[in-house]
Structure 1
Amino acid sequence: MGGCVTTPPSEDPVLIKLTEMDDRLRKVERLADNQSLVELAGQIADIQSEIREIRGDVETLRYETEGAATRQRDQYLDIDRRLQTLEGTAPPVTASAGTASGFGGGPGASAATGGPVVAAPGAGGAAERASYQAAFDLLKEGRYEQARAGFEKFLAEYPGSDLAGHSQYWLGETYYVTQKYDQALAAFQKAVNQYPQSRKLPDALLKVGYCRYELGQYVEARAALNTVLERFPESTAARLAGQRLDRMQSEGR
């Protein structure tokens, strides 16, 4: 009887085929592993990029927040200084035979000591000044909406008053200090246009420039601030205008 012929493993076509398939499968698995690593590396790179962007956004936000806080602090310091100035230099309200009461609330000098004695105004004058003072007191207390209503009421009732220019200016301040720059700009511009003889004209022009700055209207802001320097070179408003112009230059605006 003849025996079966045994094919060596190295020559077995089935085994060879299985071996080839196994090799191919391993190559595919290695490629898959490599592809996963590539994708993972890409994801890591994307995450790192996003982290850098977030850090940049945080730094930008921090800068803007600090800048806003600085501007707000400057605004409050500015209005406080101006309020104190007005209180110290305002004319007296009433006077009796012996005393005169300062407009800002300070005591006046008596006639016996040689100080100024101002004749008591008529009923209309007293009511006018009381209306103005009431609005001004609200402004000093930080009650800006009530102060705004008070100044608007004063302007409606006493449009020809000597204090109308002041009232229009402080109306603008009630908007400015609360960062309502569009409304503030309109109020300050009205103070400039309608009350050119007011002592608050330099300050109103200055605040027109400030509002333009806050609104990003840098060309107009620079023009307004330069107007203050040209028309009122010796005033405090001119000094503040110069400081803001220097700041704009350092900011590249």
Structure 2
Amino acid sequence: MSVMKTILLAACRSLLALLAVGCVTSSDVQRLQSQINELQEQVAQVKRSASSKEEVQTVNQRIADQTQTLLKSNATLVAKVDQIEDKMNNTQGGIEQTNYRLDRLAQQLTQAQHDIEDLKAAAARAAAPLAIGPAPPAGTAPMSEVTVPAPAGTEDPMQTYQAAYRDYQRGNYDLAIAGFRDFQTRNPASDLADNAAYWVGESLFSQKKYREAIEQFDTVVTKYPKSDKVAGALLKKGYSYIALGERAQGVVQLQYVIHEHPNSQEAALARQRLKQLGIETR
């Protein structure tokens, strides 16, 4: 920049000197003036160029600063994402563990129900009255009590119930439903009538006939309100509503199980299911 100014000043001095001695023509003056104008234009260009460079440097510096800021923000974001992923992994592990425990508890409940069914069937057989034969003639030794076999064509009710229960265990749900309903029809006053009604509902639930299962479980609750199957019927009603997409109704049903049967295994299963749905219970 200073060099251009020096040249320009020198040209001006030369012009003044020539004018002073009077040895120049007008064309010489014009030519020199033209050169001075060119030099001035070059000086202006240099100034503009310098200004542009400064602006470019300023912009570059701003870009560099913003880049650093973005890099820092990105590093922070990556760290937060890593933390979230860790939390999600821990949460997923907890959910899997909870599901495993829930499955184990459900298996234990099912096994307990099977054991109870077997015990009830055995108790019913043991309580059946024994038929007594005719009195022995006088002077003869008393005969031991014997059970008179059922007349031909008459089926033992317990055999009907046990056959239906075996069909349920084997997944033959249609046969199980038919067998349990036949047992109920023939033995409405039996101690196992409520159980038969409940296992009809379980069979329908296993077939994913959730609406029919709900109606059957309602029958258990209303017809046998003192049955030990009521808690299970209420629980499976809740499961059925959820399976049908009627979440609110299912949640209410599960909460009712907890309220009415707080210390039962069914209540524990209801709490676990509500927890899976994101609903905390006391």
TM-score by length of 1: 0.61
1:9-48 CA deviation, whole Å, 9 max, x = no partner?
xx94433332222221111112122223333444444444
Per-residue Cα deviation, 1:120-173 (whole angstroms, up to 9, x for no partner): 334554275444323322444xx33x1x22221124544413354322212334
Alignment of 1:101-112 (within 5 A): none
Deviation string, structure 1 residues 27-75 (Cα, Å, up to 9, x no partner): 1112122223333444444444444444444344333332222222111
Q: Distance in 2 between matches of 1:151 and 1:17?
A: 97
Residue 245 and residue 20 in structure 1: after superposition, are their counterparts in 2 closer, same or farther (change >3 A)? closer
Q: CA deviation at 1:207?
A: 1.0
Contact 2:106 2:269 in 1 (8 A): no
Letter in 2 for 1:61: Q
**SS state of the match for residue 120, structure 1?**
coil
- Report the counterpart of residue 104 of structure 1 in structure 2: none
Q: What percent identity do the matched residue pairs reach?
A: 14
- The Cα of 1:227 is off from its aligned counterpart by 4.6
Map of 1:153 onto structure 2: 178
1:210 equivalenced with 2:235 (yes/no): yes
Equivalences for residues 158-169 of structure 1 within 5 A: 158-162=183-187, 163-169=192-198
Aligned residue type for 1:6? I
Q: Is the 8 A contact 2:160 2:179 kept in 1?
A: yes
Counterpart in the other structure of 1:100: none
CA RMSD of aligned residues (A): 4.4
Does the CA contact (< 8 Å) of 2:258 and 2:270 recur in 1?
A: yes
Counterpart of 2:62 in structure 1 is 31
* Structure 2 residues without counterparts, runs of 5 or longer: 1-5, 10-41, 132-142, 275-279
CA distance in 1 between partners of 2:182 and 2:270 (Å): 38
Determine whether 1:121 maps to 2:150: yes
1:62 aligns with 93
Q: Distance between the aligned counterparts of 1:95 and 1:26, measured in 2?
A: 108
Instruction: Kindly indicate whether residue 115 of structure 2 is the aligned counterpart of residue 84 of structure 1.
Output: yes
In the other structure, the counterpart of 1:6 is 7
Q: Which amino acid aligns with 2:104?
A: R
The equivalences for 1:94-243 within 5 A come to 118-123=147-152, 125-126=154-155, 129-140=158-169, 143-144=170-171, 146=172, 148-162=173-187, 163-174=192-203, 185-194=214-223, 196=224, 201-211=226-236, 214=239, 215=242, 217-224=250-257, 227=260, 240=265
Cα shift at 1:80: 0.7
What amino acid maps onto 1:203 in structure 2?
D
> Is the contact made by 1:92 and 1:118 (CA closer than 8 Å) also made in structure 2?
no
> In the alignment, residue 7 of structure 2 is paired with which amino acid?
T
Q: Distance in 2 between matches of 1:157 and 1:136?
A: 12
The number of aligned residues is: 215
Counterpart CA distance in 2 for 1:48 and 1:178 is: 48
1:46–1:246: structure 2 CA closer, same or farther, 3 Å change rule?
A: closer
Gaps of 5+ in 1: 98-110, 230-237
Q: Higher relative CO (CA 8 A, sep ≥ 6), structure 1 or 2?
A: 2
Distance change >3 Å, CA 132–CA 242, structure 1 → 2: closer
Q: 1:156 to 1:131 in 2, by over 3 A?
A: same
Structure 1 residues 69, 22: CA separation in 2 closer, same or farther (over 3 Å shift)? same
Q: Please say which structure displays the higher CA radius of gyration.
A: 2
**C-alpha separation in 2, matches of 1:202 and 1:96:** 28
How far has the Cα of 1:6 moved from its partner? 1.6
Report if the CA contact (8 A) 1:172-1:184 is conserved: yes
Kindly tell me: are residues 45 and 226 of structure 1, through their superposed partners in 2, closer, same or farther at Cα, counting changes over 3 Å?
closer
Q: In terms of mean alpha carbon deviation, does 66-75 or 88-97 score higher?
A: 88-97
Tell me, in whole angstroms, the C-alpha distance in 2 between the residues paired with 1:178 and 1:78: 20
Contact 2:200/2:216 (8 A) holds in 1: yes
Residue 169 of structure 1 aligns with an amino acid whose one-letter code is: Y
